[in-house]
């Protein structure tokens, strides 16, 4: 058994292999992971909207030992990750980190937001710092406005990053 604690280091090896095959292979994998994640989050979004997302990421905060602030209002959800355990473990690793490790988060979340009619703005800030800001909007114009102030905007399968 690879311990669930070590999943991210396994994930990192998978990413490195897929990156060697090309971007299309990475995109297909993220879509597969996105599909896998639907069973954990899709019903919550469809029945409770932004509040359902808040519930999902509250569980993640606890189970994955994240240092983050989460807020939600009628218009959007905002997650400020101050200490991402996933990237932190990949960097505290005897194997080399995949340089675009952070891209997988938007890679699986983006397609779910597209599917449910929400608009994701994912600012990774820096791929070597375990922090990021994720905003999810109901209104596309508000999402476009938020994109203007990001430092490192992530894309996902079906949406290229604007910057």
Partner 1 sequence: MQKLPETPLRYQEEGNVHLDFHGAVNTTIDFIVERYGVEVLHEIFAKVGRDVYVDLRRHMLEGHPEEMVRHWRHFFARENADYDIAVSEDEIVLTVRRCTAYHHVAKISPSVSAHFCDQTTKVNEAIAEGTPYRIDTEITGPGACRQIIRRRA
Instruction: Please give the structure tokens belonging to residue 8.
Output: 């991210």
* 152 near partner 1, rule: CB under 8 A: no
14-53 binders of partner 1 (CB under 8 A): 14, 17, 21, 25, 28-29, 32-33, 35-36, 39-40
The structure tokens 């990156």 sit at: 19
Closest CA to 143 of 81, 76, 80, 70: 76
* 62 near partner 1, rule: CB under 8 A: yes
Smallest gap from residue 111 Cβ to partner 1 (A): 14
Task: Identify whether the C-beta of residue 109 lies closer than 8 Å to the C-beta of residue 122.
Answer: yes
Displacement of CA 117 from its chain's centroid (Å): 17
Please give the residue ranges that form the binding site for partner 1 (CB under 8 A): 1-7, 9-11, 13-14, 17, 21, 25, 28-29, 32-33, 35-36, 39-40, 60, 62-65, 89, 92-96
């Amino acid at each position: 058994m690879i311990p669930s604690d070590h999943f991210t280091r396994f994930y990192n090896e998978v990413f490195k292999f897929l990156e060697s095959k090309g971007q299309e292979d990475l995109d297909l994998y993220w879509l597969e992971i996105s599909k896998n994640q639907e069973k954990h989050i899709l019903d919550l979004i469809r029945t409770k909207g932004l509040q359902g997302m808040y519930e999902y990421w509250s569980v993640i905060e606890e189970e994955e030992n994240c240092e983050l602030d989460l807020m939600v209002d009628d218009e959007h959800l905002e997650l400020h990750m101050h200490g991402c355990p996933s990237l932190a473990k990949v960097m505290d690793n005897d194997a080399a980190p995949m340089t675009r490790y952070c891209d997988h988060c938007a890679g699986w979340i983006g397609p779910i937001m597209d599917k449910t009619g929400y608009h994701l703005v994912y600012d990774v800030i820096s791929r070597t710092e375990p922090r990021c800001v994720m905003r999810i909007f109901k209104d596309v114009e508000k999402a476009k406005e938020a994109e203007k102030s990001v430092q490192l905007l992530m894309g996902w399968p079906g949406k290229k990053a604007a910057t």
